[in-house]
Chains A and B, each alone.
Chain A
């Protein structure tokens, strides 16, 4: 029999992953609840999930593809959809994970479980919408008769980077909003500017070729820049991930690891603060 000791002066740096694993059923149940609630409330719930990114996609394609006539290796609509799929996943997970602790405050005040499960579960829910966009993407590729390149083997790697980046940002925001409610208003802003500062509707060279080296480096500090570019490269080839990929990987790892550290620091006082 194990003895559990709660001490006031003992602080852990990282969440107890063994304990998190013990609560894996809660992780799945919370994800499943979000999914159920999302599609239970409205009869056309699935359609809502599609409609918003679909309209954004059409607008972006109209503006960048038709009005500005940005040159892309594959049809602009397909090019943008590939970028949008990863970006939408990122913004969904970041937004929902970011507000997840505040919106679960009733639970947090009444029962103990590793709090990190809450934002984690959002990463799983987001995959459902991502799956739907992926089906659309495949359909569009069939329509244009474009087969994925052999690079497609790298797609899961970029997806993994995307998940870590989204969780990193979401976990940071969720812990910050517990302390400072102001951060609730920051999230829509990040999503809005991120949509343009990420090479979704245009190839990344359009940005980097107009920028000095130091500014291009800054551009890639947005982890989604490298991830979107890499994900699209793994599907269509062309514009290969360049020397900036390292910046992306480092940023993602730093973002994710630091988010866990910060979350753990706030975790103990969450029930008192929310």
Chain B
């Protein structure tokens, strides 16, 4: 193996999709098409638009971007599922791609049979699967049911078995799509550990996710994609920042026109524990809202009212305090808000009497979750807050 040689090199890569009816869907249309003049006015869009980048051997790269930014298309291109419209992809080494866990699993077949089926679909030989069989079963923890048809498995068991097969692939380049969001918290930790060890063995990993917490934890490098175009390629922490800045989240509100003769908000800033401006938080870190005020003699009559709204604009909670200081900080405790996008509104008022300042949704932030026990529910809306409860 040549030192420093790339694992994947992408040049001028584009993928165009036509909108609406893809090709002629019925033969009659196609026959009609022979006689009619070709109607080339079909709308199309570039899902991936002129990408150029190189991924070196042994790098763990996170690809981040909003839904519909072209991540999945890029992944499909890299894993050869679909062909590029333009450009070239050069790949050095054996690739395994994992766009879902349990591809090809058949409900009627037993766990044992599905391991062989899934393993060969993922590109292993039967001999390889046999060799790793015991390891796969032990990792999944479904030893007892290995000869039961998987249709009788619980969804958790199913996913664990499926991930275990995938985890025992030994490719030089591994392409993964958000499959980490499976299983219970304990199994997730196991998966993360497995991924880290894969990365540690000097293999190249390409990881696509909009879970920034997972990207932060796993990847050294990050690629940010926006509307099919490459926006940033570099260190993963810088990539996350670049993503946030193009994501439209505002960690900061500032009003430079505030005159000194009245009570007003000069600035609001969202900070993390390290007191850095931030819009991306994980569930297990506190969120600090710093409010910088202009204070005059009668300011103490007024109160600051901060309201947190969820991504649908519904209020989650509000906090109010009489103005006491030029700088005030509201701390939202760790493990309070669940994952999602939030916005802050800030008002200065005398309750029910007078409102002198209205700042609706002046700052936004995102909370991501890779660790809580609810994360297995994926996109299910289980509410904006982790309840403060006890089981007896």
Contacts and interface: CB of A to CB of B under 8 A. Distances in A.
Given A1-B93, A37-B108, A182-B26, A113 B87 contact: no
B91 interface: yes
A71 interface: no
Contact of B1 (A1, A37, A180): A1
B88 A7 contact: yes
B26 A271 contact: no
B28 to A, nearest CB: 7
Interface in B1-27: 1, 14, 17, 22-27
B90 A4 contact: yes
Contacts of A183: 27
Contacts of A243: none
Interface stretch (A25-33, A84-92, A157-165): A25-33
A107 B104 contact: yes
Contact of B117 (A8, A29, A181, A272): A29
A49 B92 CA distance: 47
A33 B104 CA distance: 10
A25 B109 contact: no
A48 B312 CA distance: 55
Contacts of A112: 79-81, 97
Interface in A194-214: none
Interface string B175-214: 0000000000000000000000000000000000000000
Nearest to A6: B89
Contacts of B77: 6
B125 A25 contact: yes
Nearest to A178: B23
Interface in A137-192: 179-183
A110 interface: yes
A3 B23 CA distance: 33
B290 interface: no
Nearest to A176: B27
Interface residues of B, number: 48
Contacts of B384: none
Contacts of B56: none
Interface string B89-125: 1111101010110011010110001001100111111
A29 B17 CA distance: 33
Interface string A261-274: 00000001101110
Interface in A108-124: 108-113
A179 B23 CA distance: 8
B316 interface: no
B122 A181 contact: no
Contacts of A182: 26-28
A182 B86 CA distance: 31
Contact of A29 (B88, B97, B116): B116
B106 A6 contact: no
Contacts of A4: 90-92, 95
A5 B99 CA distance: 21
B72 to A, nearest CB: 10
Nearest to A182: B27
A109 B93 CA distance: 22
A212 to B, nearest CB: 31
B103 to A, nearest CB: 5
B80 A25 contact: no
A106 interface: yes
B81 A3 contact: no
Ranked nearest first, the 8 interchain pairs of A and B with the lowest CB-CB distance are A180-B27, A112-B80, A268-B83, A6-B89, A29-B120, A8-B84, A4-B91, A110-B99
19 contacts: A1-B1, A6-B77, A6-B88, A6-B90, A7-B84, A8-B14, A8-B86, A8-B88, A29-B116, A106-B103, A107-B121, A109-B81, A110-B103, A111-B99, A180-B26, A180-B30, A182-B27, A269-B82, A273-B23
Given A7-B87, A111-B103, A113-B121, 13 more contacts: A6-B80, A6-B91, A7-B88, A33-B109, A41-B108, A107-B103, A110-B103, A112-B79, A181-B25, A182-B27, A268-B83, A269-B23, A273-B23
